[in-house]
Structure 1
Amino acid sequence: MASSRRLRALITNDDGIDSPGLVALATGARDAGFDVVVAAPHVDASGVGGSVLAIREDDRTRVHRRELPGLPGVPAFAVEGHPAYIVHSAGRGWLDPEPDVVLSGINIGANLGHSVLHSGTVGAALAAGLHGWRALAVSLGRPLVSPERPHWESALHLLPEVLDVLLAAPDATVLSLNVPDVPVAELSPLREARLAKFGSVRVRVDHVEGEDGDLLRSHEAELATPLEPDTDTALLAAGHPTLTELQSVSDRPGVLDGGELRRRAG
């Protein structure tokens, strides 16, 4: 990483180009000394995971130049595509020079447990790891809660420390930071956390018959079961910001080895 040039950070999210959390993260990255470029979905793309869907006209996807409040001179683009598509495009020739790191967020609402698989915020960070870039997904608050005045400053307070961890890590490292939506003075110490089994929210889907046809109706609710100790869900509920290293899809040998399969099952 030693170089006389500034490191370049691609800032993206899944809440869309007009999210104040995106501006907050871009501002924090700029203040940390990064050369910043912003590219985010033109509309909300929450819950798309690692999708590389884009609105295409033949083989083209529209990109709209934007100027973000408080960030004069910072290149910013609203892209008619999902967060992971934006990251992959950056690694397939769109951005020159390519980013050194990808920072995704600040998401409104925590991304916890193995349910991070469905998060577009996390999906962008995991896509960056596939390109060999370090990446950080940043989320603020609790699931199912949309605060009137999010404490973006609490996430930014932790950003320099977490960026130091990220930049000291090997290439392709992907980290997920969840921060309680409280004032800086009320933050408990940052803790490393393992992923909870499901996160703190469970979705139930009901089949509903109506006059206009059959529907699937989703209901989200926080889990009433006890929280697993030392998981991201439990620590965040206790007021701790949490940091978790994530791994993308990988293979594991031994699928045709009957003894290995029995050991896994046992």
Structure 2
Amino acid sequence: MTRVLITNDDGIDSPGLVTLARAALRHQLDVVVAAPHEESSGTSAGLTVLGTESVAKPVELAELPGVLCHAVTARPAYIVLAAREGSFGDPPDLVLSGVNRGVNIGRAVLHSGTVGAALTAGMNDLRALAVSLEHPESGLLHWDSAEDLAAEVIPMLLEAAPGTVLNLNVPARPRAELGPLTRAGLSSAGAVQTRLEQADESAEVVTTVVEGGAEPGTDAYLLQKGTPTITALRSVTEDPDFTWPPGL
């Protein structure tokens, strides 16, 4: 049976984590959940461990009976690496990250902990999917739409080559009002959630905007029209177009 790790950057208590696990369970996958014990937005592929060592504490999520769940004092990318080394049982074949509250689009995906976990998986020859849901000013989050679309994409991921990383973004609309899932490029614009630590040890999550345009055919452009987007991402690699000086 295919084993899948469900993680996120919103923390173990996020409903998005349950949403994504339910999407995986629709396909009878062997699900294990391991997520940060607290909000970890904006951590990219950071490997910070909070404290002197990583501690994974078993927890029960009432919405996921029978599923092994762990709250981990580390960032999501570290959790992916730990899972690959067998810290939560058998290593996963897939990594599903999200569902994030707020889209991860355009240039800003570089800074997202949700996408960072997926890219870390891809760099280690695992198939991965990052899922994000638009968070409108009304505050109404359509988790069912995200679950349905994630479940639609999972078979595509299962058939993909090792190292494949897909980024799914879902508009803030009921499933019946959404356009078809559409392949999109990355826009020059974007936004990312960041957890800001305060001097008094409190913290808040803010949205940092990367300026740019919502060019036609890109994720930002299509989401504005109510179209869910899917983008294939590639992580760090050599630049074949760089012109080296003679002798190098």
TM-score (normalised: structure 1): 0.82
- Asked if the contact 1:110/1:179 (under 8 Å) is kept, the reply is yes
One-letter identity of the residue aligned with 1:120: G
Structure 2: gaps of 5 or more residues: 200-204
Alignment correspondent of 1:175? 166
Deviates more, 1:128-137 or 1:225-234: 225-234
Does residue 1 of structure 2 align to residue 10 of structure 1?
no
| TM-score, with length taken from structure 2 | 0.88
1:156 CA displacement:
1.3
Question: 1:247 maps to what in 2?
Answer: 234
Computed over aligned residues only, the root mean square deviation of the Cα atoms, in angstroms, reads: 2.5
Note closer, same or farther for the CA distance 1:114–1:67 as it changes in structure 2 (3 Å cut).
Answer: same
- Does the 8 A contact of 1:188 with 1:241 survive in 2? yes
Corresponding pairs, count: 237
Is 1:44 aligned to residue 39 of structure 2? yes
Whether contact under 8 Å (2:6, 2:96) holds in the other structure is: yes
Write out the 4+ residue segments of structure 1 that deviate beyond 2 Å after TM superposition. 145-149, 200-203, 218-227, 252-259
SS at match of 1:10: strand
Q: State how far apart, in whole Å, the 2-side matches of 1:135 and 1:226 are.
A: 27
Distance in 1 between residues matched to 2:164 and 2:103, nearest whole Å: 20
How far, CA to CA, are the matches of 2:227 and 2:241 in structure 1? 39
Structure 2 residue 159 is matched with structure 1 residue 164: no
Aligned counterparts of 1:226 and 1:256: Cα–Cα separation in 2: 29
The separation in 1 between residues aligned to 2:102 and 2:168, in whole angstroms, is 12
Q: Does 1:97 align with 2:90?
A: yes
CA distance in 2 between partners of 1:195 and 1:103 (Å): 20
CA contact (8 A) 2:189 2:210 kept: no
* Max Rg structure: 1
Give the letter aligned to residue 220 of structure 2: T
Give the structure 2 partner of residue 198 of structure 1.
Answer: 189
Q: Is the 8 A contact 2:188 2:211 kept in 1?
A: no
Asked if 1:233 corresponds to 2:224, the answer is: no
Query: 1:82 maps to what in 2?
Result: 75
Cα displacement string for residues 131-171 of structure 1 (whole angstroms, at most 9, x for unaligned residues):
211000000015xx465331111011112321121112111
8 Å contact from structure 1 (residues 108, 146) kept in 2: no
From 15, 21, 24, give the equivalent of 1:20.
Answer: 15
Identical-pair percentage: 48
Counterpart residue type for residue 172 of structure 2: D
Cross-structure match for 2:202: none
Q: Which residues of structure 1 form unaligned runs of 5+?
A: 1-5, 204-211, 213-217, 260-266
CA contact (8 A) 1:104 1:121 kept: yes
- The 3 A distance-change label for structure 1 pair 227 and 38 is same
Query: Which residue of 2 is the match for residue 262 of structure 1?
Result: none
Q: In structure 2, do the counterparts of structure 1 residues 221 and 74 end up closer, same or farther at CA, with 3 Å as the change threshold?
A: closer
For residues 124 and 202 of structure 1, what CA distance do their matches in structure 2 show? 15
Alpha-carbon displacement from aligned partner over 1:211-263 (angstroms, at most 9, x marks no partner): x9xxxxx985768975211000000111100000000100124656349xxxx
Give the drift of 1:71: 1.1
1:187 equivalent in structure 2: 178
Q: In structure 1, how many angstroms separate the alpha carbons of the residues matched to 2:239 and 2:208?
A: 34
SS of the equivalent of 1:138 reads strand
Residues 202, 223 of structure 1: 8 Å contact kept: no
1:109 aligns to what?
A: 102
Kept after mapping to 1: 8 A contact 2:131/2:169: yes
| 1:94 positional shift | 1.4
Cα distance in structure 1, aligned partners of 2:119 and 2:38: 21
